[in-house]
Amino acid sequence: MTGIVNDRWSTVRTGDGATVRLLTHEPAGPALGRLVWAHGGSWQRGSAAQWAGVTRQLSAASGWTVASVEYRLAPEHPFPAGVHDVLAAVDRMAQASPELPLAVGGDSSGGTIAAMAAVARRDRGDRVPVQVLAYPPLDPGCARPSYHRDPGAFPRREDLRRSWDLWLGGTRRPGTARPSPLEVPDLSGLAPVYLAVGDLDPVRDDVVEYAARLHAARVPVGLSVLPGTPHAEVLRSPSGILGELITALHEYGNDERTTP
C-alpha cells in the first residue's frame, strides 16, 4: 500500500562545518517515524535526487518521514566526511521529533555510512537510531568467500577495493576512526538492526558476519537473505529488498508505539 508524499529540500550544518542538502519526503498523514537515508554509489557517485524514486517509495509505503542526505563524495571528500553528513541529519531528525521512532538506513556504500553514524551516536551517549540497511559492504579487503564466488558479479572485488581506497583516502593511519562496524570491537548498546542482502551479492558474507556479531553482542538483529538477488536491487522495480526494509520499518514502529 502506498500513499502521497510531499518533497522538500533543506540544508543542515555538519559537525565539521560543511553545509549539506537534504531531500525530505513527508507522508500525507501523521508520520509514524523518522528515517535518515544514505544512497549508494561506491562513496563516489549518486545523489539524493537520483535516489528519489527509492526514498519516496520508502516514505509512501511505510508512512515514515524519510530524509535523504546529499552527502559529500569521495575522493574529494574522503571518510569520515559522509559519516559527519549523515550524523548531522540524524541529529536534526532526533531533535525535531523526539517522540517518534528514529532510524538510519542506506543501500550499498550508504549503508556502510549509516551504520557508522549509528555507532557514532552510541559513542556520544545520544539516542541510538535503528539501522535499516540494504547490502552494505563492510570489509575494505573484500576478503570473504562471497567476493570470490562469481568474479563477474557486480560489484567486482577489484572495483570495490578501489572504491574503499578512494573513500579512505588511500591510507589508514593508526588511531583514526573506523570506517566499518566490523572493525568496531564492541557493538553492544546499539538499537535493533535490520539487514537485507541477496544471495548472489558479493557483499553477502559481510552482511551475514555483521548479523552474527550483533547477535553475539546481544543486539536485536533481523537478517533477510533473498534468493536469486544481486547487488543494487533497491534500484529495480519491484524490489524485494526494499519490501523487506519497509516491513522492518512497520515492525519496529509498531513495537516502539506499544512498548510501555
User: What is the rounded (10 degree) CA torsion for 80, 91, 37, 107?
Assistant: 40
Please answer whether residues 23 and 39 qualify as being in contact, where contact means their C-beta atoms are separated by less than 8 angstroms. no
Residue 89 has pLDDT above 90, yes or no: yes
- Which pLDDT score is estimated for 16? 93
Please answer whether residues 87 and 120 qualify as being in contact, where contact means their C-beta atoms are separated by less than 8 angstroms. yes
CATH number, residue 136: 3.40.50.1820
Counted domains in the chain? 1
Which of the four pLDDT bands, split at 50, 70 and 90, describes residue 175?
low
Mean pLDDT of 11-21: 96
In tens, the pLDDT along 19-49 reads 999 999 999 889 999 999 999 999 999 999 9
Angle between helices 240-258 and 52-62 (to 10 degrees): 40
Please give the residue range of the domain that contains residue 174: 5-258
Residue 96 has pLDDT above 70, yes or no: yes
Cite the active site residues: 108, 201, 231
C-alpha–C-alpha distance, residues 255 and 249, integer Å: 10
Residue 260 has pLDDT above 50, yes or no: no
